[in-house]
Structure 1
Amino acid sequence: MSSAHVDIPDGSAAAATDGFYSPAKQKAANRRPNVLTIQRARQTLCAAKVKLIFAALAFSFILFASSKLSSFMGWNPHYPSFVSSPSRGGYTVMINSWKQSSVIRQSVAHYASCRSVEAIHVSWSGSEPPSEKMIARLNEVAVLKSEGAQKTNFIFNIISGDQLASRFKPKSYPNTDAIFSVDDDVIVPCSSLDFAFSVWQTAPLSMVGFVPRTHAVNKEQNNVADYRYEGWWSVWWTGTYSMVLSKAAFFHRKYLDFYAHMSPSIQDYVANERSCEDIAMSLLVANVTGAPPIWVKGKIYEIGASAIASLRGRSRFRNKCLNDLISHYGNMPLVPTNFKAVSAKNEWLW
């Protein structure tokens, strides 16, 4: 019994048709893998081009956003001519003391120990001036505590009467551009103070401080708004603020000039009202800049017992002060914000 033998063509003869071998068809078959490789290469190149275009667009967007973010956050506003550069050297601490001789020594000793403090000015307001012995002792404390770094320049300004508004009208003008205004019963750790100073240096036109407050519209009648002064709990709840109080805040020394040359009606009002000068300063800075202040995250400590903070009807009084001053300006200068400056060195959660 015979059997038929059939040869199956290998890959080189796969191009043959009808059982016949064709050199032309064989050559075409050999070219097909190369065509597929070229097509795949083109597809890969197109995909790479698309990714490159998207990457370029993303990079351009990041550059654009970065350029706009600083102005949005308030870090680099357009400064007027009087603030053309950051503060030279350190800063002056202006301590507002109101009949609290028991805490002023502790306050002076602390701020004299901070490395960037170049001078301490104490504004003493009260019916009875401090004794010569007390002033001499404070000078000794300032020099003693600053021996490790520098000799702090200590100046005592005596303000006659109970005019707290005079805290921004010192008899001797500070030499530093940066002023740190603080109440005598408020202690800010030196590390927090130095960080706030570095923040202020990036935006010397702004008011930079540790005690944020805000405002809200209470009601509106005949297109005239009545505003409500809001305390810390409103800031904590909403995350929004429009003021940083001068009880612990940096500002440029030129604002002392502006404060002294405010409208006579505003000056008279502040002079006749107790504990209204801090709102007046916040409104003044906001009116000049058209921008919000900067709240710096940091712990502050209160020592002694503040007689001003315990005044009855303080909330109602602050509402009246805010609205009366706004009426003098003729508009609302305050600008709300929810930006907060935080030191990355002290934050582990991002």
Structure 2
Amino acid sequence: MSLIPVSKVMHVSEEQKAENQLANFRVGCTPGWLCLWSFLLLLLVGIALTVLHRPHNDSTEKPGDLTVVKQDGFTLIIQTFKRDDILVKVLKRCLAVPHLQKILIVWNNINKPPSQKLRDSLGPHRTPIIFLEQKVNSMQNRLQPFSEIQTDAVLMLDDDILLSVSDISFAFRIWKQSPDQIVGFVPRRHAETAPGVYTYGGSELSDPQNGGEKYSMVLISAVFFHRRYLQLYQEQPKEVHNLVDDTHNCDDIAMNFVVAMHLRKLWGSGKPAGIYIKPKNMVNLELQANSGFKGLWHRPDHFKQRSYCLTRLAQIYGVMPLQFSNIMMTQLT
């Protein structure tokens, strides 16, 4: 990153001006009660100027910007369905991550509560783990503005993605610098094949900063985002929710649309919804699951459905808000 030199500017504070006035006054003032009252008046002026010109933390923020609350931590949300064994591996790894405040497990195993064996297998830990048992098995269950979330930062993980502690910590630091965007590890792209018709690209990126492919989405299978987007997702047109339920797919694409539409309101067009973090160590545990349950992306019509979702979402919103980016963040060591 190049640095732009900044000229040194001599700045005389209002407090210094008041002090200079006081010094001038001391030279020309004659003894007496008038001198005392003048001194007190100048002192009060100096105090007032100090209070009025005290810097505020949000002085450079744009109206409507997402800001980070005082809690320097995040809440982990994991949605799971019939894969307890790999869920335990993911949870044990995440429990070692600094700044983790709470874990919410969106439990989609309907009419089958989490077993005591599962709870005990996590071992002793200080981080609260809350199982949120759902009434229906829906992709959208994880995108609720749960009252248990007390941090602005949310880390959302699939139950089969194992990230290193350093990758998660690094992504959290990047997110704190850009809390209005999605920050995550799984980039994807879209392409317009005909006017108003879009296809979904699922190829991985190698090195976008050196001429590689651009991306327009960062999937919520492994991302940080501001909790406000959970509420904004719920406020989307009913057609969006129906689309996700009908396809049992595309909630991650829909969330990228939610973020992109919000950024259009904040910044105008041109700001991408997500920032891609190239992980140093990310493992998919799906094949290790004893249940044998495979992710939805194995369905033969998966990519066709997601292309349909892109086109349908653009129709619902009346615009294609997704913007391309080639920014890739990675750890130096």
TM-score by length of 1: 0.69
Instruction: Confirm whether residue 232 of structure 1 aligns to residue 207 of structure 2.
Output: no
Using a 3 Å threshold, how does the CA distance of structure 1 residues 131 and 96 change in structure 2: closer, same or farther? Answer: closer
The alpha carbon displacement at 1:100 in A equals 1.5
- Who is 2:64 aligned against? 81
Question: Are 2:93 and 1:110 equivalent residues in the alignment?
Answer: yes
**CA displacement 1:116-163 (0-9 Å, x = unmatched):** 21111111213443344245326xx2x62x4xxxx1111111122221
Deviations, residues 304-326 of structure 1 (Å, cap 9, x unaligned) = 34331211221111101111111
* Structure 1: gaps of 5 or more residues: 1-58, 65-76
Alignment of 1:276-287 (within 5 A): 276-287=250-261
Identity of aligned residues (%): 27
Equivalence for 1:330: 318
SS of the aligned residue for 1:99 comes to coil
Residue pair 2:68, 2:153 contacting (<8 A) in 1 also: no
Contact 1:87–1:178 (8 Å) recurs in 2:
no
User: Where does residue 109 of structure 2 map in the other structure?
Assistant: 126
Residue range with higher mean Cα deviation, 244-253 or 162-171: 162-171
Map Cα deviations across residues 64-118 of structure 1 (whole Å, 9 max, x no partner).
8xxxxxxxxxxxx965536234662111111121222221111111111212211
Amino acid at match of 1:122: I
Q: Deviations over 1:180-235 (max 9, x none)?
A: 11100001101010000000000100100000001111122xxxx21111112477
* The structure with more helix, counted as a fraction of residues: 1
Q: Is the Cα–Cα contact under 8 Å of residues 216 and 228 in structure 1 kept in the other structure?
A: yes
Which of 75, 92, 97 is equivalent to 1:92?
Answer: 75
Change (3 A) 1:235 1:323: farther
Matched, 1:315 2:298: no
- One-letter code of the match for 1:196? A
* 2:263 is aligned with 1:289: yes
2:215 is aligned, of 232, 241, 256, to 241
1:62 maps to what in 2?
Answer: 4
Mark the CA change 1:79 to 1:160 in structure 2 (over 3 Å): closer, same or farther: farther
Given that 2:79 and 2:142 are in contact with CA atoms closer than 8 Å, whether structure 1 keeps it comes out as yes
Residues in 2 aligned to 1:285 and 1:173: alpha-carbon distance in whole angstroms: 22
3-state SS of 2:190 partner: strand
The letter of the residue matching 1:228 is: T
User: 2:285 matched to 1:303?
Assistant: yes
User: Which entry has the higher C-alpha Rg, 1 or 2?
Assistant: 1
Name whichever of 207-216 and 294-303 sits farther off: 294-303
What's the offset of the Cα at 1:257?
0.9
Partners of 2:180 and 2:63 in 1: how far apart? Answer: 8
> Cα deviation per residue 1:8-43 (whole Å; 9 max; x = unaligned)?
xxxxxxxxxxxxxxxxxxxxxxxxxxxxxxxxxxxx
Relative to structure 1, is the Cα distance of residues 219 and 111 closer, same or farther in structure 2, using a 3 angstrom cutoff? same
Task: Deviation per CA, 1:231-286: give whole Å up to 9, x if none.
Answer: 12477684200110000000001111111111122122222221211111111001
Counterpart position of 2:179: 204
Secondary structure of 2:4's counterpart equals helix
Residue number in structure 2 paired with 1:262: 236
C-alpha distance in structure 2 between counterparts of 1:87 and 1:79, whole Å: 19
- Partner SS state of residue 118, structure 1: strand
CA distance in 1, matches of 2:167, 2:4: 31
* Counterpart residue identity of residue 217, structure 2: M
Partner of 1:266: helix, strand, or coil?
Answer: helix
What TM-score does the superposition give when structure 2 sets the normalisation length?
A: 0.72
Q: Which of 246-255 and 79-88 deviates more? A: 79-88
Residue 191 of structure 1 is matched in structure 2 by 166
The number of residues matched between the two structures is 262
Q: Secondary structure at the match of 2:286?
A: coil
**Structure 2: runs of 5 or more not aligned:** 7-59, 265-270, 288-293
Give the corresponding residue for 2:37: none
Note closer, same or farther for the CA distance 1:85–1:104 as it changes in structure 2 (3 Å cut): closer
Q: Distance in 2 between matches of 1:116 and 1:183?
A: 19
Look up the SS of the partner of 1:269 in the other structure.
helix
Higher relative contact order (CA 8 A, sep 6+): 2
